[in-house]
Structure 1
Amino acid sequence: MAATDKWVMTLKAATAEPAGTLFCFPYAGGSPETFRSWSGAIADDIELVCVILPGRGRRLKEARYDRWQPLVDDVFEALSPYLGRRHAFYGHSFGGRLAYELAHLAVAEHPGMTRRLFVSGCRSPDAPQNRPYMHEMPESDFRAAVAKMGGTPAELFEEERLLRLLLPTVRSEIRLAELWDHRHASGVDVPITALYSPDDPIDGWESMRGWQNFTRRHCELIEAPGGHFFVDSHPEYVTGIVNTRLGNLNG
């Protein structure tokens, strides 16, 4: 993948053949740093790639998305040159919703190439969203809610300038996540591995068990240690599951 591609960042190149690609999508406002810690643990035949959306990092000044369809269409167009080889999607929270949306398009356009969809800390499309909506909160309440969720470094809340740059992206993507619902007539024709934490106050087992209804293949629901941000706090556990499930990515 070209280093100049603004949409993707390759965190680990595959060092064994035949190779496949794992596309990763972070939570609202998240960055590639979440998945960078996976680099040393992901199997040698897997290329690890993080998708970068507007509003963070090198795309900080770009306009954020406020509707699902333009976001999905643009990300899919950006990834299309890379989807002709075997691949899988991993998305956490907001990123899980985006990964599911992209899986629908990828399966239709590149039959047989999408081998698995991983969703973690992400309610199924038919599960009700917690209320009240975070994205509708006044600024002070929203900041407090984001801080309580975790996932955002505590020291960031002491840097007002950085906070003002980051929080609009977090709010925008939380809004998309909260308003997301079942947008398709059927589930994806891809096996789903859904990871949840029993200590997740946002999307735990109750809101994730419905994923079995959104695939025409096998779906498994796996418990993970930690709270909502277990992708950050327990990377070894998550990558162990990923490696096991992707052992036949090129089979």
Structure 2
Amino acid sequence: MEGTPRTRLICFSYAGGGPGPFRRWVPDVPAGVELLTVLLPGHGSRIRERPHTGWEPLVAEVTDALGPYLAEPHVLFGHSFGARLAYEVARRAEALHPGRTRRLYVAACRSPDTPQTRPYLHELSEAELRDALGVLGGVPGEVLRDDRMMRLLLPVVRAEMRLAELWGVRPGPVLGAPVTALYGRDDPVDGAAATARWPRFSRAGGEVLEIPGGHFFLDTHRPRLLDIIDARLGGG
């Protein structure tokens, strides 16, 4: 893309997910918007790296890697585990580069003060976790049935789910950017009640919006999600 983009949209995927879901966005991203994705340890070309087990080193690594982009105007989008990470990065960015984060989109993610539903998925056996992933979606059936692939994927999913499920209110700067929280109408994990309090976590407030679909509406209802993002990028 030539010149300076109108907006940079930095995206964070769900537990076990990589840049793949966001590559499918590329044809539909508006002109002037540069789409960036984050590749975490244990994913893709970093498959041999161990995933992080604590929030502080994870947020520090991602914030450092994104340093030049966080110093310029940008918006952040995260889904489920990725929404938690996007929020923590946005708070760190607020301390380093006040006002550069123009908006935070958190999808399929409870607010920090909302208790996590039980039982914890990260505590399930391998067979139970595979079954749970099949019910929730997000992992193609052919991958779930591939024992070799699942041996690689499950430790990363479990580690990131553990971070997501044990996450809550953490000390740090208050978010300055407005929040757009999105939930799936049929999401059994993080629905309307779990996301309702998100606007309280920003000095600029925010909104909570419903999208058709379940927990992985970013895959099943991508056009609707992108319409919502696009409508707000003009102000961000």
TM-score normalised to the size of structure 1?
A: 0.91
Change (3 A) 1:187 1:205: farther
In 2: Cα distance, 1:29 partner to 1:185 partner: 26
Q: Which residue of 2 is the match for residue 27 of structure 1?
A: 14
Report Cα offsets for 1:56-103 as digits up to 9, x if no partner.
Answer: 111100111011111001110111122221101000000000000001
Q: Does 1:148 align with 2:135?
A: yes
In 2: Cα distance, 1:186 partner to 1:77 partner: 17
SS at match of 1:40: helix
**Contact 2:12 2:38 survives alignment (8 Å):** yes
Q: Give the alignment partner of residue 36 of structure 1, picking from 10, 23, 26.
A: 23
Report deviation, 1:195: 0.6
- Contiguous gaps of at least 5 residues in structure 1: 1-12
Identity across matched positions, percent: 49
TM-score normalised to the size of structure 2?
A: 0.96
Q: Which residue of 2 is the match for residue 215 of structure 1?
A: 202
**Contact 1:94 1:173 survives alignment (8 Å):** yes
Q: Does 1:238 align with 2:225?
A: yes
Q: Which residue of 2 is the match for residue 51 of structure 1?
A: 38
Q: Which residue of 2 is the match for residue 157 of structure 1?
A: 144
Q: What code does the residue aligned with 2:214 have?
A: G
**Contact 1:37 1:235 survives alignment (8 Å):** no
- 1:30-109 matched pairs, under 5 angstroms: 30-109=17-96
In 1: Cα distance, 2:167 partner to 2:192 partner: 18
Change (3 A) 1:33 1:18: closer
Q: Does 1:202 align with 2:195?
A: no
**Contact 1:83 1:106 survives alignment (8 Å):** yes
Report deviation, 1:20: 2.1
In 2: Cα distance, 1:106 partner to 1:185 partner: 11
Q: What code does the residue aligned with 2:58 have?
A: L
Report deviation, 1:185: 5.9
Report deviation, 1:18: 4.8
Q: Quick check: 38-47 or 85-94, which moved more?
A: 38-47
Change (3 A) 1:213 1:155: same
- Contiguous gaps of at least 5 residues in structure 2: none
Q: What code does the residue aligned with 1:92 have?
A: H
Q: Does 1:122 align with 2:104?
A: no
**Contact 1:22 1:89 survives alignment (8 Å):** yes
In 1: Cα distance, 2:176 partner to 2:86 partner: 14
Aligned length: 236
**Contact 1:107 1:113 survives alignment (8 Å):** yes
**Contact 2:91 2:173 survives alignment (8 Å):** no
Q: Which residue of 2 is the match for residue 3 of structure 1?
A: none
Q: Quick check: 146-155 or 16-25, which moved more?
A: 16-25
Q: Give the alignment partner of residue 136 of structure 1, picking from 110, 116, 123.
A: 123
Change (3 A) 1:116 1:144: same
In 1: Cα distance, 2:27 partner to 2:234 partner: 16
In 1: Cα distance, 2:190 partner to 2:103 partner: 21
RMSD of the alignment, in Å?
1.3
In 2: Cα distance, 1:125 partner to 1:167 partner: 25
